[in-house]
Amino acid sequence: MSVLPTAELHLHIEGTLEPELIFALAGRNGIELPYADVEELRSQYRFGDLQSFLNLYYGNMAVLQTEQDFADMTRAYLARAQAAGVRHAEIMMDPQAHLSRGISLATCVNGVASALAGSEEEFGISTELIAAFLRDEPAEEALAVLEQLLAMEAPIIGIGLDSAEVGHPPRDFVALYERAHEAGLKCIAHAGEEGPPEYIREALDLLQVSRIDHGIRCMEDEELVQRLAAEQTPLTVCPLSNVRLRAVDTLADHPLPRMLERGLNVSVNSDDPAYFGGYVDNNFIQLQSVFSFDDDQLAQLAANSVRSAFITDTRRRQLLAEIEAWRAGRQ
């Protein structure tokens, strides 16, 4: 079966750090991990909610020390993403999670960016970098880091907002997003993953974002669903992530089919694939097995990702043609 070409719009590069690479980098950097081996680390990957995942996710970042470490992690993702059918990726990184460990912005940004610079030639994947800010840290800190990124002319296309959602509403980050808009950056934010539909409204109205990461809890608010459908706001949904972080009980309970029925612009993404049991191809495969999506529906989901990507019209046409060729080839 040929793999469905798609764009990955919701991916945290630190969430692609596989246990094997964590151990390899720990060895290289002389870091002692609190786990005996890869199996013991993997056995920790059972999460009760977003916070329990974040604790492990931030802890494992200790192994990322040098530019080379960040570049190796990024290249490993690109190799896996290529096999998963990813043809374009918009990749988030969490600079504050590295700064707080004494790793410089130059180290993390240049490391990831150096690997992304060769992504098209080496892996056939066009890429963009997005700086995500931690909503459970002070908004003033986020703004100061954005200023540093702008001062160093970091190769970022936009900003995002992630980490623990509940209790950290978008309205706290208005100044950050005003500055990002002023600097000509694209603006996205996680909203409606664990947080209420109101956070999605705030992200749209107060932060003026052009895309919502997750957004699944919009389904609790009929008026919001109608608005998102009318405006075709992209929602970057991550089904396996939602199951693993207990936002939904099982994949069969996931709202994605209902979101499609309501005409929402949803795409399928992997979020933190090393932690959630699958890259984007696994997300599609499991969705198909649970919901029996036909090829037209799968192609629609992939086309939505391409429609929602920050790419040129030429690249968009090229990728839409690839998806159409995939669909035609399946008949």
Ligand X SMILES: Nc1ncnc2[nH]cnc12
Burial of 169 (0-12, 13-18, 19+ CB in 10 A): middle
Binding residues for substrate, as ranges, are 272
Binding status of residue 195 toward ligand X by CB under 6 A? no
Residue 84 CB partners (closer than 8 Å, separation 6+):
3, 270, 279, 280, 281, 282
Is 283 among the residues that bind ligand X (CB under 6 A)? no
Residue positions counted in the chain: 331
Whichever of 5 and 162 has its CB closer to ligand X, that residue is: 162
Closest CA to 278 of 15, 40, 47, 38: 15
If one asks whether residue 69 binds ligand X (CB under 6 A), the answer comes out as no
Per the DSSP assignment, residues forming a β-bridge with 186 are 158
The angle at the Cα of 229, spanning 224 to 230, to the nearest 5 degrees, equals: 100
Least Å distance between CB 268 and ligand X?
14
The residue ranges of DSSP E strands in the chain, in sequence order, are 6-12, 86-93, 126-134, 158-162, 186-191, 211-214, 234-237, 265-268
Give 192's DSSP letter: S
The residue from 193, 194, 261, 324 that is catalytic is 193
Q: Does 237 bind ligand X (CB under 6 A)?
A: no
d(CA 230, CA 228): 6
Binding residues: 10, 12, 190, 271-272
Per CB under 6 A, 119 contacts ligand X: no
Residues 254-273 that bind Zn ion (CB under 5 A): 271
When the beta carbons of 65 and 305 are compared against Zn ion, the nearer one is 305
Tokens of 152: 């160093």
| Identity of residue 70 | F
Q: Which of 72, 90, 128, 271 binds ligand X (CB under 6 A)?
A: 271
The neighbour count for residue 113, using CB atoms within 10 Å, is: 19
Q: Which of 60, 119, 127, 163 binds ligand X (CB under 6 A)?
A: 163
**Closer residue to ligand X (CB): 67 or 193:** 193
Asked if 14 touches Zn ion (CB under 5 A), the answer is no
Which is nearer to ligand X, 5 or 278 (by Cβ)? 278
- The answer to whether 90 contacts ligand X (rule: CB under 6 A) is no
Q: Please, which residue, 97 or 309, has the CB nearer to ligand X?
A: 97
Residue among 106, 232, 124, 214 nearest 161 (CA):
214
Q: Is 233 in the site for ligand X (CB under 6 A)?
A: no
Q: How far is the CB of 36 from ligand X (least distance, A)?
A: 26
Q: Is 241 in the site for ligand X (CB under 6 A)?
A: yes
d(CA 81, CA 270): 10
**Least distance to ligand X from the beta carbon of 48, Å?**
14
Cβ at position 189, least distance to ligand X in Å: 10
Question: Is 193 marked active-site?
Answer: yes
18's contact among ligand X, Zn ion, none, with CB below 5 to 8 A by partner kind, is none
Q: Which residues are catalytic?
A: 193
Binding site for ligand X (CB under 6 A): 12, 15, 50, 57, 162-163, 190, 193, 241, 271-272
Binding site for Zn ion (CB under 5 A): 271
